[in-house]
Amino acid sequence: MSAPAVEVRDLRVGSGPLQAVRGVSFTIPAGGRMGLVGESGSGKTLTALALMGLLPMGWAARGSVLHDGVDLIGQSDRQLSQRRGRTISMVFQDPLSALDPVRRVGHQVASVIRRHTPADRAEAARQSVGLFRQMALPRPEQMVRAYPHQLSGGQRQRIMIAMALACYPQLIIADEPTTALDVTVQKQVLRLLNTAVRERGSALLMITHNLPIIAAICDSVAVMYAGRIVETGPVENVFRRPRHHYTRGLLVSQPTMDNIALDGSSRLPSIPGMVPSLQALPPGCAFHPRCPAASDRCRAEMPELSGTGAQAACWHPVTAP
Amino acid sequence: MTLLQMRGVTQTYALPRQGLFAARPRLTVLDAVDFGVDLGQAAGLVGESGAGKTTLTRILTGLERPQTGQVIFDGTDVWSGDAASRAQFRRAVQVVMQNPRSSLDPRMRVGVALHEPLRALKIAGDHAARVHQVIDQVGLTRAALERFPHEFSGGQLQRIAIARALMPGPRVLIADEPVSALDVSIQAQVLNLLKDLVADLGLSLVLIAHDLSVVAYSTSRVSVISAGKIVETGAPLELFTRPRTAETRALVEAVLTVEAGLAGHALD
């Protein structure tokens, strides 16, 4: 069996006294697809940025991130920048701010190819057109000459994906890649991402708060809350039989076809309260103030992940379906 | 009874001139649109970006005057009436925007922000009592009044934005994508709150969104807008199960569910 695409051990990301990611571990096998679910402030984006070596000023990561035979934590900026786009790449949420507004999109894709492969200018341009075609962009020969502002949001995001895929990376990180898009465009972009990742055999880390997207393209999932993974395992197990009360709460609060069949007085089940701030994390299990099953033990002791197959960090896991 | 409606509204915007002597081409944003909400009802409007949702909202709230057609509130044409009836209309129709962070002044305490609509609309009465009443209705504590917007999470801010919209005692609440900027666990709370307000206060609600499942959950009648035209109107369940037009079908098919994903056919 080949080495995992990435193996994260006890990752901690902090800035001064603030700890946003508090001991996260996961492994994505070569070609595997993991979803990282969490709300704003759960630490999911900082986890991704730590993997890319792109943490914002003032933030530092500890722990280890094994990828392609090296530990990415502790690599120099120069080493990391030679790696980004080649063995590990990222698709950001907002393509408009990630693309250079004054360069033609074809050149932007071609420059990634030229930086990391021996391809000459003509060859890189040819490959860019091929990538545009694969991303189902209309008239690829002309579109490579367009500027970002001339394109729609969906087209821009497909170009971001083309750029991320250009050098056949071992791992692609996609951070809310379709949140800024229309629902009808979202599905098309997900489908293209799905196919392109599969064809290249790349591993995928999909970061989103959207559970249906995870169910559609990932094989495993990790649910983050307040900087820790509270439940993880195969998507099938976690979504069908959630054991952490937070995961269960997220699943039942989704508006679905079943809810709308109910009458006007029906209410969506919702998780009471709100995500705690980093400055005031509750002791014990960080979810206890919002949890229906919280006990004295939850208020005092922090649970660790346990279980076989799917793992949950909970003192009183959900038992009923 | 239809409380607020637009009838035969067409709105066009001028585009840049194509040639020196050419007339400026016009873009039709709304094309003979009929849309309305009944007393105490929740009506939904769905459509992709660029379909005309925002222009429709602007006209329905009186921010923009329609070039053709009428906006009728409580039986009177808003734009042909006198200033007094228009003032009545502005009090009675209030809006909640998508992003509460940008719709609240960061340097204004929440309590002051809530007083603002009463001052602007020159409404007399016991303002402090009204603030307390409204803050209870949206499920916040009175301590919130002394704090600034940055001290709140997105979900709480959206409650504050809803409270501000409720201050003048409106009869129609227009919510433009009220949950799309919020976290999943908070979305359900805000949708439930809107539903409670319709039930408890007898408010009429217009909910505008691009996600059919959000609208379907909160309203009893949904209109689908595409390229400036209302293409279909019906009960949510009916639209979901028997869409009659291609535009509705595209929106229905775009809805991803956990179930479809687990069954492995979500992206088919």
- In angstroms, what separates the C-alpha of B14 from chain A's closest C-alpha? 20
Q: What is the pLDDT of residue B211?
A: 81
Residue B242 pLDDT exceeds 60: yes
- In angstroms, what separates the C-alpha of A186 from chain B's closest C-alpha? 8
Is B54 part of the contact surface with chain A (CB cutoff 8 Å)? no
- What residues of chain B lie within 8 A of the CB of A94, using their CB? none
Query: Would you give the DSSP letter of residue B135?
Result: H
* Separation of CA B190 from chain center: 14
**Is the residue at B122 inside a domain?**
no
* Separation of CA A94 from chain center: 14
Is A186 part of the contact surface with chain B (CB cutoff 8 Å)? yes
- Structure confidence by residue, pLDDT tens digits, A229-280: 999 999 999 999 999 999 999 998 887 666 554 555 677 888 888 888 888 8
Q: What is the pLDDT of residue A259?
A: 53
From the list A153, A216, A269, the residue facing B256 with the nearest CB is A216
Q: What is the pLDDT of residue B19?
A: 82
Handedness of CA B175, B226, A187, B219 (dihedral sign): positive
* Separation of CA A114 from chain center: 27
B22-49 average pLDDT score: 91
User: Would you call A165 exposed, middle or buried from its count of C-beta atoms within 10 A (0-12, 13-18, 19+)?
Assistant: buried
- Structure confidence by residue, pLDDT tens digits, B185-220: 788 888 989 998 998 999 999 999 888 888 888 898
**Is the residue at B182 inside a domain?**
yes
Q: Output the domain CATH number for residue B254.
A: 3.40.50.300
From CA B258, how far away is CA A221, in angstroms rounded?
13
Q: What is the pLDDT of residue B240?
A: 83
- What residues of chain A lie within 8 A of the CB of B38, using their CB? none
What is the domain extent for residue B64?
A: 2-101+172-263
- The stretches in chain A having pLDDT less than 70 are 1, 256-265, 320-321
- In angstroms, what separates the C-alpha of A73 from chain B's closest C-alpha? 30
**Is the residue at B106 inside a domain?**
no
Task: Tell me how crowded residue A1 is: count the other CB atoms within 10 A of its CB.
Answer: 5
Query: B-contacting residues of A 244-303, CB under 8 Å?
Result: 249-251, 253-257, 259-261, 264-265, 267-272, 274-275
ipTM: 0.81
**pLDDT tier, B183 (very low <50, low <70, confident <90, very high otherwise):** confident
Residue B94 pLDDT exceeds 90: yes
Q: What is the pLDDT of residue A231?
A: 97
- Short-list A96, A72, A69, CA closest to A84: A72
Residue B236 pLDDT exceeds 90: no
Residues in chain A: 321
From CA A4, how far away is CA A26, in angstroms rounded?
11
B1-21 average pLDDT score: 89
Taking the CA atoms of residue A133, residue A136, residue A138 and residue A144 in that order, the dihedral angle to the nearest 10 degrees is: -50
Angle between helices B127-137 and B184-201 (to 10 degrees): 120
- Structure confidence by residue, pLDDT tens digits, B103-138: 899 999 999 999 999 988 888 888 999 999 999 999
From CA A282, how far away is CA A279, in angstroms rounded?
10
DSSP track, A165-221: HTT--SEEEEESTTTTS-HHHHHHHHHHHHHHHHHHT-EEEEEES-HHHHHHH-SEE
Task: List the Cα angle A93/A99/A104 in 5-degree steps.
Answer: 145
Q: Under an 8 A CB cutoff, do B256 and A184 touch? A: no
The total of structural domains in chain B comes to 1
Q: What is the pLDDT of residue A277?
A: 82
From the list B156, B188, B255, the residue facing A183 with the nearest CB is B255
Q: Under an 8 A CB cutoff, do B216 and A253 touch? A: no
**Is the residue at B48 inside a domain?**
yes
Strands A228-234 and A60-67: unpaired
Q: Where are the domains of chain A?
A: 242-312
**Residue for token pair 């991320």:** A164
From the list A183, A257, A275, the residue facing B183 with the nearest CB is A275
- What is the side-by-side order of every strand in the sheet holding A228-234? A88-91, A171-175, A203-208, A33-37, A220-225, A228-234, A311-312
From CA A149, how far away is CA A157, in angstroms rounded?
12
- Structure confidence by residue, pLDDT tens digits, B54-77: 899 999 999 999 999 999 999 999
Q: What is the pLDDT of residue A264?
A: 57
